Amino acid sequence: MTLTYRALCHAFWFSLIGPIIGFLYIAFGVMLPGSEDKATTVSFFPILFFISYAFGVLPALFTGIGAACLPARHYGSRLRRTAFCALLGAVLALLFFTAVFGVQDVLIGTDRPGSLFHRFALYVAPGMLSGAVMALITPKGFYFADRP
């Protein structure tokens, strides 16, 4: 399999499935446990799904391309590939949110205690989790043709 084909396959699958993993993390790991009215929170899930795709597809796309371009000795190691994709997903998600919302709002705007943790949980953790999960499941057989 050529590097171009592998990069296209990784970019496709990372950008298709990666934002869904981020959506599931935010919906069931952050929003639902902290809400008092579960029915109202669940009613926001379609909008949250759209927002997850709108903000998650570019970091996921570039994480997939970065994963495909790893050297063979690093790509073959499950631990290295997963750590690299998790780190790259977190960094790209943070850079994307910083580019969209600005440095003041994302990094500096800690107006209340615990705010930096919440920003990490909403901006960085979904990218990190998506990158790690996709690094584990993508090489298993999400290809359109046989691998050499």
The C-alpha angle with vertex 114 and arms to 56 and 84, in degrees rounded to 5, equals 40
Which structure tokens are listed for 7? Answer: 């990069």
DSSP state, 30?
Answer: I
- For each of the chain's 148 residues, which pLDDT tens digit applies? 688 888 898 999 999 999 999 999 988 887 777 777 888 888 888 999 999 999 899 999 999 999 989 888 888 888 999 999 999 999 999 888 888 877 666 666 556 555 667 777 788 899 999 999 999 988 655 554 444 4
